[in-house]
Structure 1
Amino acid sequence: MKKILSGTIAAIALIATPAVAQTNQLHYAGTAPIPYTITNPQNAPFPLNVIGIAAGQAGVAAEVGTRYRAQADAPADSETATPTVDVEFALSGTVNRDCSFYAGNNSNARNIDFGVIGVRTGDNENVNSAFEMVGPAEANIDTLTAGCNTNNVVEINKDDIRGLVNLNPGGYDTDEFQANIPYEVTASWTGVALNAQTTGTPQSLNVPTTGNAGQKQQGAWRSRMDIDIVAPAVTNKGLVAGDYTGTTTLTLRAL
């Protein structure tokens, strides 16, 4: 039985390999009554496993046989191994709804004064033209910063449908004079329709001389905005002397 260890060195390789059974080797060999080997009898079905081990052990006890045994044991994974792990992180945050309109640095920037609104005052004017407006009164307002970051509505509201109004006109012939100057308001910007996800295009909202308010719903937009106020010349009647005032409110309101 010299071949039990072949050569002069026995190398023992220690390995850990996934999904491979742990080592459990049991070998017997002997010479009497005839040369024999018994390899891993513990793996045989019952009762052959018991008989094989008993025979091997009997040879060892009778000093006519030998035994080789190698066993290894290590605890299994604490949980089922997962070669790939996906971890999903739910990210969240909130952006507040906001509308912006740069309207100058103080209230003076928003006081639009037409100055003297010229009327025909010449002595040589025909009576049918006397005291009528010489031409239209116009104002232009523009800001480079306007818009909303959500669905919104652009609104224009006049405080009086009559337009600019002389609140203290005194007495006058209503067939020949009037104490108000109608005006229209047009706002222009670049935006998109409500709920639209597309490239911005020119948009506008107009409140005519005969209108008091208007609105237009929009998706989120940001752009320059121009506001034109035009009071067409009143030519069918003369204007009563005095101060003419009015207020127009532009509102950008998030929906």
Structure 2
Amino acid sequence: MKKFISAALAATAMLGATSAQAQTSQLHYAGGPFTISNPSGIGGAIAAAANEAGMLLGVGTRYTANAGALGNTQTATPTVATAFALTGNVTKDCSFYAGNNGSATAIDFGQIGVRTGNNENVSDAFEMVGPAVAAITSATAGCNFNNSVTLTKLNGNQGLKNAAPGSYDSQQFQANIPYTVQANWTGTPQGTTANGIAQSLTVADTAGTNSVNQGAWRSAFAMAITAPPVNKGLVAGNYSDTLTLTLAAQ
């Protein structure tokens, strides 16, 4: 009886071990008290124990087959998608080709002609003969981000000023020459994404500065400066101003 109980416990232990670890777990008995395949439960354990006891007495036979392997370390993923975050940076930049040296931006009207004839009517004497004009073009200009285009006269609405005019009758003479500036290029206003169209910016002779906001643009750039004749005589001397074009990425 003791051997029978020991055999039953051994069979139960075998069943538990194989069912916990094996992928294939086969246990078959024949020729003994019970012919049984893969016994389970209490009844199966008792039958297996009886067969094991019979085998100790030389009765019956047994067949076992067990196979197994370690499982996956993590849950299997038949499809894997990995997103790669690609980044880079483009520096904001504005460009304006203004020649190869400082002399390229020194705009000299030369002699601004006035009416010097002694046969001129007194109401016309010493007045400008005609407008002073200048044309400036650059084949390369633009900014690669939202930007502002600004034109600024250093002397404001005074325009070209005589730095040393001496004394004069201010009712009949003046020591400044107002001028207008008009710039033209191809671009697009901020807030739009479209093919570039003609853009312009004007600073009137009565104004000192003007500005317009643009989206990224690149094109040729042209400026026309016009100083129309004034209605008074001009005091002799040197007239000057500084006109600044600013392209500023925002």
- Report the TM-score range of the alignment, normalised by the length of the smaller protein: 0.7 to 0.9
Superposed CA offset, 1:128-164 (max 9, x none): 3232222211111111222222222211111112111
- Counterpart of 1:92? 87
Distance 1:224 1:37 in 2: 101
The answer to whether 1:57 aligns with 2:52 is yes
The answer to whether 1:163 aligns with 2:164 is no
Query: Taking every aligned residue pair, what percent have the same amino acid on both sides?
Result: 57
Superposed CA offset, 1:187-234 (max 9, x none): 222222224333322221111000011111222222222111111122
How do residues 81-230 of structure 1 correspond to structure 2 at under 5 angstroms? 81-160=76-155, 161-230=157-226
- Counterpart of 2:4? none
Displacement of 1:61:
3.4
* 2:38 aligned to which of 40, 44, 53: 40
The answer to whether 1:74 aligns with 2:75 is no
Residue 200 and residue 40 in structure 1: after superposition, are their counterparts in 2 closer, same or farther (change >3 A)?
Answer: same
Superposed CA offset, 1:27-68 (max 9, x none): 2222x67xx641111xx2x21220232243245334442222
Distance 1:52 1:146 in 2: 98
- Counterpart of 2:30? 29
Residue 196 and residue 52 in structure 1: after superposition, are their counterparts in 2 closer, same or farther (change >3 A)?
Answer: farther
Deviates more, 1:129-138 or 1:177-186: 129-138
Secondary structure of the residue aligned to 2:44 is helix
Report if aligned partners of 1:98, 1:150 keep a CA contact under 8 Å in 2: yes
Displacement of 1:251:
1.1
Distance 1:248 1:180 in 2: 15
Distance 1:137 1:49 in 2: 118
Distance 2:172 2:106 in 1: 31
Q: Which amino acid in structure 1 is aligned with residue 208 of structure 2?
A: N
**Length, aligned pairs only:** 228
- Counterpart of 2:247? 252
Distance 2:93 2:162 in 1: 37
Q: Which amino acid in structure 1 is aligned with residue 24 of structure 2?
A: T
Unpaired runs of 5+ residues, structure 2, are 1-21
Displacement of 1:238:
2.0
Unpaired runs of 5+ residues, structure 1, are 1-20
Distance 2:68 2:131 in 1: 102
Q: Which amino acid in structure 1 is aligned with residue 224 of structure 2?
A: D
Greater share of residues in helix = 2
Secondary structure of the residue aligned to 1:47 is helix
